[in-house]
């Protein structure tokens, strides 16, 4: 049950570089959905609920940019209520849901259904609308209508845009409304019937591989198309030749977050070359961003030796060198956000031979713990940035700050606590982390005037 409308967060360390209290251990009095007071040893009374824990930390509410909610159409795998409960348990106050439902979110009617079902949930649900009808990659949706109806971004979600002309025209179409195109890079003709990353491990296991080249070609293609659109319309960018310019950084810190929202966002990149291509594009000042799924930071392709279908994902787990490059991309700011890539699949879709099983894992409840358990020296402030301010900037969401008088949109967590992930609030159970001991625990979220305690 939600706690009373007024409560006190006791002795929490603030992790919010934009706050005057960043790094300080403070008390926060929350009432009527607002941060009413911040200080040390604040007085309270018996009517105020006190929230306290060892090593308690507080940040602005976390944002997940890539969630497959499966509602409408596949509610037996997940629905909007269960996905929101799982999100809150994982520390998220905002999620962006993909359009790959049945029907696809390609018209105002379906978008309106999702927004109505999201009313009153414990997290804010932001809808990503489809670029093409039925996400089939053929005919455009009415993107302007969908934008005005509340779509936060546009993507065909689990279906990468294969047609370069569609992608180019989408970039042109969205520019007047400051819209965002999100695309998962994959040349599907190179990955047909693929089961895992193409390499030594796929050869040893006898599984058809999905080459890194399939992702990297599309990253390069999309960057060149963006360069063409912006070059033609603004004369602002040039990617004529790596040899010509050697793509030298244009500033001492080319990977610092830009105040200009990106135009093109790459979802769930997974290879070292993809990281480098995006790093080079950012060094030239191109308005691009990207994210990585938390599970891609944990596993490499050797994890599939046991043919566990809960480890079958797309993009696939890559080589150890690729994983190291992803961590490096997070550290230098090339990778902007960490996402769950939450993809619920029922037992009938996973309890099959490996080559017959569906791709995907659930991850909303374990994003933070997965990153902290396997952290490769990424400072906590940067981990939190990838879950808060950067995804908010990319999605054009209103900024959230920890300050008196501001709305209380907060995540409470202990970065050092260990715990066992024993059960999930998702309707589906396809997680490789179930039963594992993890480090980094979410205490709960403060949102809509209530404290939502994590189970």
Which residues are designated catalytic? 341
CA–CA separation, 313 and 295 (whole Å): 9
Residue 251's contacts (CB-CB under 8 Å, 6 or more residues apart) are none
Q: Which strands sit side by side in the sheet containing 124-129, from one edge to the other?
A: 62-67, 92-97, 124-129, 153-154, 181-183, 264-266, 288-293, 337-339
Strands 181-183 and 34-39: unpaired
* φ, ψ for residue 424, nearest 5 deg: -125, 150
CA–CA separation, 452 and 454 (whole Å): 6
Whether the upstream peptide bond of residue 79 has omega within 30° of 0, thus cis, is: no
Total count of residues recorded for the chain: 455
CA–CA separation, 342 and 219 (whole Å): 22
Strands 25-31 and 6-14: antiparallel
The two three-digit tokens of residue 195, written as one number: 């089961």
CB atoms within 10 A of CB 289: 27
Residue 293's contacts (CB-CB under 8 Å, 6 or more residues apart) are 66, 268, 270, 313, 338, 339, 340, 341, 363
């Amino acid at each position: 049950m939600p706690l009373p409308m007024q409560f006190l967060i006791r002795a929490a360390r603030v992790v919010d570089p934009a706050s005057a209290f960043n790094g300080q251990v403070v008390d926060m009095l929350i009432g009527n959905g607002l941060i009413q007071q911040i200080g040390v040893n604040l007085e309270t009374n018996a009517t105020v609920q006190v929230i306290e824990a060892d090593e308690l930390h507080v940040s602005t509410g976390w944002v997940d940019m890539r969630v497959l909610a499966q509602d409408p159409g596949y509610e037996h795998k997940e629905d909007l209520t269960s996905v929101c409960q799982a999100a809150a348990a994982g520390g998220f106050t905002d999620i962006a849901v993909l359009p790959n439902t049945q029907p696809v979110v390609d018209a105002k009617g379906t978008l309106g259904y999702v927004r109505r079902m999201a009313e009153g949930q414990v997290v804010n649900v932001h809808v990503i609308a489809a670029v093409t009808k039925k996400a089939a990659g053929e005919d455009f949706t009415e993107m302007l209508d969908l934008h005005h109806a509340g779509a936060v971004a546009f993507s065909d979600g689990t279906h990468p845009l294969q047609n370069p002309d569609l992608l180019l025209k989408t970039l042109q179409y969205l520019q007047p409304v400051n819209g965002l195109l999100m695309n998962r890079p994959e040349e599907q003709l190179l990955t047909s019937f693929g089961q895992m990353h193409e390499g030594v491990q796929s050869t040893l296991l006898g599984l058809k591989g999905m080459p890194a080249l399939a992702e990297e070609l599309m990253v390069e293609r999309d960057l060149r198309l963006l360069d063409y659109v912006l070059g033609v319309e603004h004369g602002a960018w040039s990617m004529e030749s790596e040899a010509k310019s050697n793509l030298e950084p244009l500033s001492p810190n080319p990977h610092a977050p830009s105040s200009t929202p990106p135009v093109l966002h790459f979802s769930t990149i997974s290879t070292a070359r993809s990281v480098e291509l995006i790093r080079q594009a950012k060094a030239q000042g191109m308005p691009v961003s990207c994210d990585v799924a938390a599970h891609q930071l944990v596993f490499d392709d050797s994890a599939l030796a046991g043919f566990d279908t809960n480890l079958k994902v797309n993009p696939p787990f890559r080589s150890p060198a690729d994983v190291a490059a992803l961590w490096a991309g997070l550290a230098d700011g090339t990778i902007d956000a960490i996402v769950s890539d939450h993809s619920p699949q029922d037992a009938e879709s996973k309890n099959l031979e490996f080559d017959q099983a569906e791709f995907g894992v659930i991850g909303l409840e374990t994003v933070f713990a997965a990153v902290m358990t396997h952290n490769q020296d990424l400072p906590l402030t940067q981990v939190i940035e990838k879950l808060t301010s950067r995804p908010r900037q990319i999605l054009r969401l209103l900024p959230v700050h920890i300050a008196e008088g501001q709305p209380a949109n907060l995540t409470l967590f202990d970065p050092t606590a260990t715990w066992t992930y024993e059960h999930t609030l998702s309707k589906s159970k396809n997680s490789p982390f179930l039963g594992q001991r993890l480090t980094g625990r979410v205490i709960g979220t403060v949102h809509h005037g209530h404290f939502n305690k994590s189970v």
